[in-house]
Structure 1
Amino acid sequence: MHLQSDPNQRRQPKQLRSRLMVETIVEAARQIFADHDFKTASTNLIAERAGISIGSLYQYFPNKDSLILAVQKKHHDDVLALVKGAMDRSHDLPLRDAISHIVGANLDMHLQSPRLHAAFDEWIPTQSKHVDRETFQQEMAANVMNFLSERSDVDLGDQLKPAVFVIMNMVRSVMHAAVQDCETVPDRHQIIESLTVGILGCLTPGTSARS
C-alpha cells in the first residue's frame, strides 16, 4: 500500500474563505499531479502553484497522500457532473449518437490528464478505505439507469440493471487502459466507435449493433 496510514484532510473548512483556500489547494494539486508524476510532485510545488506558504497548505492537508485523495474525490465529482451533462444534452439524440456523445465526453476528460489518472491507479490502493468508490459507482450507475430507462428505444425490463453493470465495467476498463498507455492506444474515434458498438450490443441483445 502506497498511502500513509492516516492521509485524511487535517482541517475541515467551515468559513467561505477557508473553503476557497481548500479549493485553490486542490486545484493546484490537480495541476501539479497532471504535470508531473506523483513521485516527483511535492507539497512545495503545490503550495507554490496555489500561491500560498507551505505552512498554510499544511493547515489543511498533512501530506501529499491527503492531497491525491482530495484530487481524486474532486475528479469523481467532475466525472459525475460531466456524464450527467452529456446525458442531458443527448436526451433527444438517436441512441447511437447519444452513446457516442457521452462516451466521447468521458474519454476526452480522461485523456486530458493521463499522468493524473496514472497517479490514481498507481498510488491509491484499489481497496483503500480512504476512497469512497462505492458511492461513486452507485451514483454513476443511477445516472446511467435513469438515462436509459427514460428512453423509448431501450426496452430491457429486468435485464437493464445487469446490462448497466457490464457497460460500466467495460467503459471503465477501456478508459483506464487509454490513459495508462495513451501514446499507443487506437485513434480516439476508433475507441468511441468500438465502445458505442459494445454498449449497443448490451442494450440490443440478439441483434447486430451495426445494423
Structure 2
Amino acid sequence: MSTRIRKPRSPMRKEPSQARSRATVDTIVESGARVLGERGWAGFTTNIVAAVAGISIGSLYQYFPDKLSLVEAVRRRHFDEVLAVMRKATAGTLPLPQRAEALVQGMIDAHNVNPELHRVLLDEAPGHDGSRLAHDAFLAEYHARYKAFVATHRNNRDGPSDDVLAQLLSGAVEGVIHSAARKHVLGAPELKRELVRMICSYLSNADR
C-alpha cells in the first residue's frame, strides 16, 4: 500500500549501523518515552534520559542532537506501533468480529504500555522540524488502512463512500482509545467489548 507523501527524514544525528548501536538507540528511545511519560515535557531533559538509559550524555548526543529530536523519535515509534496494528488488522480473511477484536485489542495494547506518554505527546511536547511530514505520512497510511478495512467489511456499495466511513470509524475509535488512556481505564473488559460491538454494528448498518 503506497502513498504520495514523501518519506520524512530521520530526526537522528546518525543512523546506527551495527547491532550494538541499534540496541543503544532502542534503549535511548525507550528511556526517553519513560521519562517523558513520567515527568512531562517540562521535566524532560537529555541528561535524565541518559541516566535512565545507563549511558553517558555524549553517547546520547552521538545519535540525537537535542531533546526535540529524541521526542520526535519517540513519536515516530508510536506511529510505527499503531500502523503495525492496522496492518495486522487489515491482513488475511478473518470475519469482521475477529478483525474488529484484533484492531481494538491492538490499539489498547499500543496505548496501554505508557498511557501518560500519549497525553504528553498530544498535549505538551512541541513538534520537531520533520514532525509535520512524518505525521502526514502516518495519516496517509493510517487512513488507507481504515479504508481497506471498511471496503472489506461493508455490506454493499450503497450509502457513504469508503473514505467517509473510514474517517468516521477511525475518529470514533481514536476518541474512545485516547479518552480511556487519559482516564486509565484501557484495561476495562467492557470497553473492549463495546468498542468491538460498535465497529461491527456500524459497518453492518452503514449502507442501510
Cα offsets for 1:10-41 (capped at 9, x unmatched): 51326335544333321221232234433223
Which residue of structure 1 aligns with residue 86 of structure 2? 83
Deviation sequence 1:90-119 (CA, Å, 0-9, x none): x32x32232123112212321221111111
Distance 1:201 1:117, change over 3 A: same
CA distance in 1, matches of 2:187, 2:207: 26
Alignment gaps of 5+ in structure 2: 1-9
Instruction: Classify 1:10/1:55 alpha carbon distance in 2 versus 1 (closer, same or farther; 3 Å).
Output: same
Amino acid corresponding to residue 87 of structure 2 in structure 1: K
What is the DSSP-based 3-state SS (H/G/I as helix, E as strand, rest coil) of the residue aligned with 1:13? coil
Kept in 1, the 8 Å contact 2:28–2:49? The answer is yes
Paired-residue identity, %: 29
How many residues end up aligned between the 2 structures? 196
Corresponding residue of 1:97: 98
Instruction: Report how far residue 206 of structure 1 moved.
Output: 6.1
| Partners of 1:165 and 1:146 in 2: CA distance | 12
Partner of 2:50 in structure 1? 47
How far did residue 68 of structure 1 move?
Answer: 1.4
Deviates more, 1:191-200 or 1:111-120: 191-200
TM-score by length of 1: 0.76
Q: Which moved more, 1:165-174 or 1:98-107?
A: 98-107
**Partners in 2 of 1:127 and 1:50 — Cα distance?**
22
- Residues 105 and 192 of structure 2 are in contact (CA less than 8 Å); yes or no, is this contact kept in structure 1? yes
167, 176, 179: which one aligns with 1:177 = 179
Aligned partners of 1:206, 1:141: CA distance in 2, in Å? 18
Q: For 1:141-174, what per-residue CA distance to the aligned partner results, in whole angstroms no more than 9, with x for missing partners?
A: 22223344345x6433662221111001111111
Contact 1:25 1:46 in 2 (8 A): yes
Seen in structure 2, the aligned counterparts of structure 1 residues 126 and 107 have a Cα distance that, compared at 3 Å, is: farther
Tell me if 1:12 matches 2:19.
no
TM-score between both structures, scaled by the size of structure 2: 0.77
Counterpart residue number, 2:41: 38
Cα 1:163–1:126, aligned 2, differ >3 Å: closer, same or farther?
farther
Distance 2:73 2:81 in 1: 12
The structure, 1 or 2, with the larger RCO (C-alpha pairs under 8 Å, 6+ apart) is: 2
Q: Is the 8 A contact 1:34 1:116 kept in 2?
A: yes
Looking at structure 2, the residues matched to 29 and 165 of structure 1 have their Cα atoms a distance apart, in angstroms, of 32
2:190 paired with 1:190: yes
Distance in 1, Cα, partners of 2:59 & 2:206: 59
Residues 1-211 of structure 1: pairs in structure 2 closer than 5 A: 9=11, 11-13=13-15, 15-16=17-18, 18-88=21-91, 91-92=93-94, 94-124=95-125, 130-131=131-132, 132-151=134-153, 154-156=155-157, 159-182=161-184, 185=185, 188-205=188-205
Separation of aligned partners in 2, 1:109 and 1:200: 21
